[in-house]
């Protein structure tokens, strides 16, 4: 019974897609979106478990991919619409995640090592009752100590700091990160002033 209902839905979907190819109307497109919304929800659910973005945001982005796939699908090609639509839907979500990602791009291997390292670190903390050393962590995930330190440093420095970020509070003022950077022009003028005296 369920398979006959899904066959009817596929048949109805293909009819709408053929109709949409001939007569591109918003009404038909919206019907196709409603008919295939489950596909978007399923992919958004999977992707949301692999990132920190809310499910609802991914779902909304997925609908953009679904609309693009509806507009580009050719029923005469002979492939199932869902097979055609999935890469568009997932691709939109991944583009969204990439665009909202960090400014500093970290190699995929290091991202994977960071995730694995977090899991191993929790295990080692339970086992040792303390934070594991870099040597213990590197051994646990089978990398060199140098590579583990690079992974940690890369993840620590993912997001750039603002030069206006306060680094020190004093009694009457605060010092920003920009204040701590040397000003080459000022140093040159100061050197010339000292030479004159």
pLDDT per position as a tens digit, 49-101: 887 788 999 999 999 999 999 999 988 888 888 899 999 999 999 998 887 76
Check whether residue 6 and residue 94 sit in a common domain. Answer: yes
Q: Indicate whether 13 and 89 sit together in one domain.
A: yes
Q: Could you tell me the residue range of the domain that residue 180 belongs to?
A: 167-196
Looking at the domain assignment, is residue 162 inside a domain? Answer: no
Answer yes or no: is 176 within a domain. Answer: yes
The answer to the question of residue 21 being in a domain is yes
Q: What is the pLDDT of residues 147-187, one digit of tens each?
A: 999 999 888 877 677 778 787 877 777 888 777 777 777 77
Q: How far is CA 119 from the centre of its chain?
A: 20
Mean pLDDT of 10-14: 79
pTM for the model: 0.54
Residue 137 has pLDDT above 80, yes or no: yes
In sequence order, which ranges of the chain are alpha helices (DSSP H)? 2-22, 26-35, 37-48, 55-72, 81-99, 108-128, 134-140, 145-156, 177-180, 184-196
One domain, residues 93 and 176: no
Q: Are residues 35 and 73 in the same domain?
A: yes
For residues 52 and 91, membership in a common domain is answered with: yes
How many structural domains are present in the chain? 3
Q: What is the DSSP letter of 104?
A: S
Q: 175 has which bridge partners? A: 168
């Amino acid at each position: 019974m369920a398979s006959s209902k899904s066959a009817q839905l596929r048949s109805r979907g293909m009819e709408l897609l053929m109709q949409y190819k001939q007569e591109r109307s918003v009404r038909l497109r919206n019907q196709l979106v409603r008919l295939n919304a489950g596909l978007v929800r399923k992919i958004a659910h999977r992707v949301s478990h692999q990132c920190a973005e809310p499910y609802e945001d991914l779902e909304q982005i997925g609908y953009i991919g679904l609309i693009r796939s509806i507009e580009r699908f050719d029923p005469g090609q002979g492939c199932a619409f869902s097979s055609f639509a999935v890469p568009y839907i997932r691709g939109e979500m991944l583009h969204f995640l990439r665009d909202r990602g960090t400014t500093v791009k970290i190699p995929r291997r290091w991202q994977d090592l960071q995730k694995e390292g977090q899991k191993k670190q929790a295990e080692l903390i339970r086992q040792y009752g303390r934070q594991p050393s870099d040597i213990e962590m590197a051994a646990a995930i089978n990398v060199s100590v140098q590579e583990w330190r690079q992974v940690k440093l890369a993840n620590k420095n993912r997001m750039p700091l603002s030069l206006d970020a306060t680094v020190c509070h004093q009694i009457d003022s605060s010092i920003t990160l920009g204040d701590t950077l040397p000003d080459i022009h000022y140093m040159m003028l100061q050197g010339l002033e000292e030479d004159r005296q």
